[in-house]
Each structure stands twice: as C-alpha cells, then as structure tokens.
C-alpha cells in the first residue's frame, strides 16, 4: 500500500461544514457540465462506422473505419497538453473558472465539427479539418474531467464522497447515452441519402444548448472548500511553478501516481472498448468477416440499453463504497475483467442474445470502476497539486493506453484476422486493475489530503431543545 505516514499533514482542529444545498448544487454543476462535455466527445464514435467514414474517408476501403477511429484517437494526443494547461490554472485560480472555460471550448469545437464540408466538397481539406477540431476537443477534455472530478471530491462530505463522486460518472454516462440516443434517432429516421448529406450534422449542432447550460451552472458556483482553505492558509501557493509541482509529485507522491495511472488505465480501457469500439465491432468488423454482427440501429440501441442499466446502479455502487470501502469494489471489477473479458467478446459474436450478455458483462465491470474512481483518485494527492497532478497523469494514461485502444484493436483485427483482440485488451486492463488496487490505500470516510475534515449541514446533530421545544443556541454545560 501507499505509505502516507512520512508525509507532513496539517492538523485541522475543527471540521469544515458546508450547506447541504450548496454541496448538491456543486455536484449538479459538475455532473451536468460533464453531460455536455461527453455528449460532445462521444457522438463521433457512434457515427464513425455508419457515416463519418463515408463522409470524410470515402476512398479508404476496408481501412476507412480505422482512419475514422484514427481521427478519434488524435484527440488524445492533445489531452495531456490540455491537462497540463488547465490543471495548473485550476490549482492557481480555482476550479470553477477553469471548468467554465473547458465547457465553452468543447461546445464550440463540436459545433464546428458539424459544420465541416464533406470530402466530396473540399477534398483532403475535410479530413484535415476533422483532425484539427478533434484535437481542440481533446485539449478541452484534458482539463474537463479531472477538474469536475476534483470539484466534486472537494465539495463532498468525507462520509459520502463515494456517493457524490458517482454522480460525476452518472453525468458521463448520461452524456454518452443521450449522444447514442440522438445518433440512433437520426440513423433510424432519416433515409440514407439525407443522413449522409446533412442528417449526421444534427447531433453536433445540439452541443450548443448543452454547453450553454453547463456554463451557466458553473459560473454561479463558488470555489471548493478545500481550495478556499488553501488560499486562506497559503495564498503564495497560487504562484507555485509547474516544475515545483512536478517535483512534489515525483519526490513525495510517486507511489500514489503509479497507483492512479494503473486505476485510470484499467477503468478507461474498459470504458473505451465498450463505448467507442464495440459499436464499430458489431456494425463493421464482424460483418466484414462474415459473422453475425448487427445493424447500426440495433448496435446503438444495445449500447443505450446497457448504459441505462448502468445509470440505474452506479449511484448505489458509489454509496456502497462509502460503507465497504473503495478497494473491494475496484477489485471486483478488475477480477471480473480477468475472468470474463474474453468470454464477453466471444458472446458478442453469438447473435442478439449473446451481444446483450457480452455488453452486460463489460458494463458491470465498468460500473465498478466508474462509480468509485471519482472518489478514489482525488484522495491520492494534496489540495495544492490535486487538479494538476490528476489532469496530467489521467490524460497521459488515457491517451497512451485507453483512448488509442479502439484504433489499435481495429488495426490488429484487420491486420491479423483475429477477432479476440478486444478480449485481450479487457483481460490486460483487469490485470492492471488488480495490481493497482492491491497497492491502493483505503481512503473511504477520511478527509482529503491537505483539507480539513468536511461534513455537510445535513450531517450535523440537531440542536438541543428547551423544555418547550425551542432550539437552544448556547445550551448550558
């Protein structure tokens, strides 16, 4: 486990108390903004195999899908840079200002993506513009998720951090589900010619009102209790250089950083296989090899059903982790991937019933990570470097190992003809998760490093009453 005994910790005499209404408003602002962010980021993958390959890579042949997913992966090249820039800003000027900026950038870039002319209209400039806009989206995403994760963790009472943290992934899944539902609707309703000419642009245009909603909610929010405490205690920390922040991570939090990277890899490989590669696998890869895949409408509908089921349980799993701890839940998901990753992929080749079963297995493993990681990762680092550390480590791990997984899997399957590659990646993710969880220090119910113990007004004991039932402000001892 990570040894925290040698780290200097500031002793806080009294716990901080936050109004329950403020806590819930902060969680809603982060989660709803996250809905907009991941709706924008996810709709590309749902349209990749069905439309975007033909719109922007019409001469790609059997590699058109791989090219389209390659443009998807390009966004992950920019995520570490976005994490570095927005993370340092978040530790200097506060969480809420930076999170408002990330929503603006994502909404604008997504609308721009929907306005790009097709290859038939402007030639090679079309895929180049797609590549550029996807990189803008990646830059935004680099600061968005870890900022929202930090904000919720720092607003959440210590005893309910797992419960409130799970709402962040509830927002992520809602964004993906909404994106899948919108894409399914335009695919199912519109004739193919209309879909190719203008219909695929509709989901991208809807990013604008979603983004405006996220901006409005976040701008009305005060910064987190932990960040306010830090600025009151040591305002000079706002001027700390990026080099000094990196030195702190390397010298004092090296083990924590390795554990964080491992959890992020296990979690996000599973996430991107399910949400970004499986639709392509069912609609493009399997039919290309003469196996029973599914139509775009059925594949998208299956994705929506599985994610709705995940939405139904994710908050309960987060609440459970507040009682039993984070480690048992994370270990359950990791072991599930090791044992069932390959069988789940085999089931995807077994018709509709098998596809439902395979998706449910992957979804249940994913929900163990998604419900608990938002409350686990922020507890590994202190307030002064929490946002920047998470932003850089999270995005490096996602960019190198997870976001590129759909492209690598598709390329390997195309090159080798072996359709088990998604299962190999899931098993590998499970092994990484088992090792990382083994060395994780249990933090459920404990204050965040560098912050006072935090409770909410709803958790305070009721005031004593007089004989006639009037609350007493200063009862005699």
CB 391 within 8 A of CB 285: no
pLDDT surpasses 50 at 5: no
How many angstroms separate the Cα of 227 from the Cα of each of 12, 24, 100, 219, 235? 15, 18, 17, 16, 10
- Cα–Cα distance measured from residue 378 to residue 396, given in angstroms and rounded to the nearest whole number: 16
Yes or no: say if 303 and 366 are a contact pair by the CB < 8 Å rule: no
**Nearest by Cα to 172 from 139, 140, 145:** 145
* pLDDT level of residue 8 (50, 70, 90 thresholds): very low
pLDDT the model gives residue 179 = 83
Q: For residues 443 and 387, what is the distance between their CA atoms, to the nearest angstrom?
A: 18
* Residue 126 structure tokens: 């079309």
pLDDT at 429 over 50: yes
Q: Assign 50 a pLDDT band (cuts: 50, 70, 90).
A: confident
Q: Which of 193, 56, 68, 74 is nearest to 122 (CA)?
A: 56
Of 162-171, 196-205, 248-257, 387-396, the least confident: 196-205
Distance (Å) of CA 448 to CA 20, 227, 284: 18, 11, 46
pLDDT confidence of residue 207? 82
Confidence band for 194, pLDDT divided at 50, 70 and 90: confident
Angle at 229 between CA 225 and CA 232, to 5 degrees: 140
Q: Which residues, listed in sequence order, are joined to residue 465 by a DSSP beta bridge? A: 471
Q: Please write the tens of the pLDDT for every residue from 284-307.
A: 888 888 887 788 778 878 888 888
Please check whether residue 68 is in contact with residue 47, taking contact to mean a CB–CB distance below 8 angstroms. Answer: no
| Residue 456 backbone phi and psi in degrees, to 5 | -110, 165
- Reported pTM: 0.83
In terms of average pLDDT, the best of 33-47, 144-158, 199-213, 242-256 is 144-158
Residue 359 has pLDDT above 90, yes or no: yes
DSSP letter assigned to residue 419: T
Residue found under tokens 């990753």: 341
pLDDT band at 13 (very low <50, low <70, confident <90, very high): low
pLDDT at 327: 96
How confident is the model over 320-353, as pLDDT tens digits?
Answer: 999 999 999 999 999 999 999 999 999 999 889 9
Please report which confidence band the pLDDT of residue 208 belongs to, taking 50, 70 and 90 as the band edges: confident
């Amino acid at each position: 486990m990570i040894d925290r005994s040698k780290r200097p910790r500031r002793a806080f005499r009294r716990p901080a108390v936050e109004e329950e209404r403020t806590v819930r408003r902060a969680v809603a602002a982060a989660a709803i903004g996250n809905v907009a962010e991941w709706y924008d980021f996810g709709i590309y993958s749902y349209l990749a195999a069905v439309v975007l390959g033909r719109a922007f890579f019409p001469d790609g042949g059997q590699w058109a899908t791989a090219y389209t997913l390659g443009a998807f992966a390009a966004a992950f090249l920019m995520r570490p840079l976005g994490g570095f820039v927005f993370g340092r800003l978040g530790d200097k000027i506060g969480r809420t200002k930076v999170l408002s900026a990330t929503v603006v950038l994502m909404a604008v870039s997504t609308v721009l993506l929907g306005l790009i002319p097709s290859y038939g209209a402007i030639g090679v400039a079309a895929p180049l513009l797609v590549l550029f806009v996807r990189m803008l989206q990646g830059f935004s995403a680099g600061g968005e998720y870890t900022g929202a994760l930090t904000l919720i963790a720092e607003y959440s009472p210590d005893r309910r951090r797992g419960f409130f943290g799970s709402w962040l992934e509830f927002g992520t899944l809602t964004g993906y589900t909404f994106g899948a539902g919108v894409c399914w609707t335009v695919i199912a309703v519109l004739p193919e010619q209309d879909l190719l000419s203008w219909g695929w642009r509709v989901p991208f245009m809807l990013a604008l009102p979603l983004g405006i909603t996220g901006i409005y909610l976040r701008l009305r929010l005060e910064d987190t209790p932990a960040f306010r405490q830090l600025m009151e205690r040591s305002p000079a920390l706002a001027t700390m250089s990026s080099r000094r922040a990196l030195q702190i991570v390397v010298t004092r939090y090296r083990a924590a950083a390795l554990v964080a990277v491992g959890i992020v890899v296990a979690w996000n490989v599973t996430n991107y296989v399910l949400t970004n590669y499986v639709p392509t696998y069912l609609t493009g890869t399997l039919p290309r090899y003469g196996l029973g895949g599914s139509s775009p409408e059925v594949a998208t509908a299956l994705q929506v059903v599985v994610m709705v089921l995940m939405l139904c349980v994710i908050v309960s799993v987060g609440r459970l982790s507040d009682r039993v701890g984070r480690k048992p839940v994370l270990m359950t998901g990791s072991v599930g991937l090791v044992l069932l990753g390959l069988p789940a992929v085999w089931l995807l080749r077994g018709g509709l019933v098998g596809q439902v079963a395979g998706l449910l297995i992957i979804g249940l493993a994913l929900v163990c990570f998604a419900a608990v990681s938002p409350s686990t990762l922020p507890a590994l680092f202190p307030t002064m470097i929490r946002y920047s550390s998470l932003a850089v480590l999270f995005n490096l791990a996602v960019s190198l190992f997870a976001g590129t997984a759909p492209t690598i899997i598709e390329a390997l399957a195309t090159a080798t003809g072996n359709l088990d590659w998604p299962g190999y990646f899931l098993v590998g993710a499970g092994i990484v998760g088992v090792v990382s969880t083994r060395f994780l220090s249990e933090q459920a119910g404990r204050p965040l490093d560098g912050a006072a113990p935090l409770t909410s007004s709803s958790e305070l004991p009721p005031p004593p009453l007089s004989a006639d039932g009037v609350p007493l402000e200063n009862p005699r001892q």
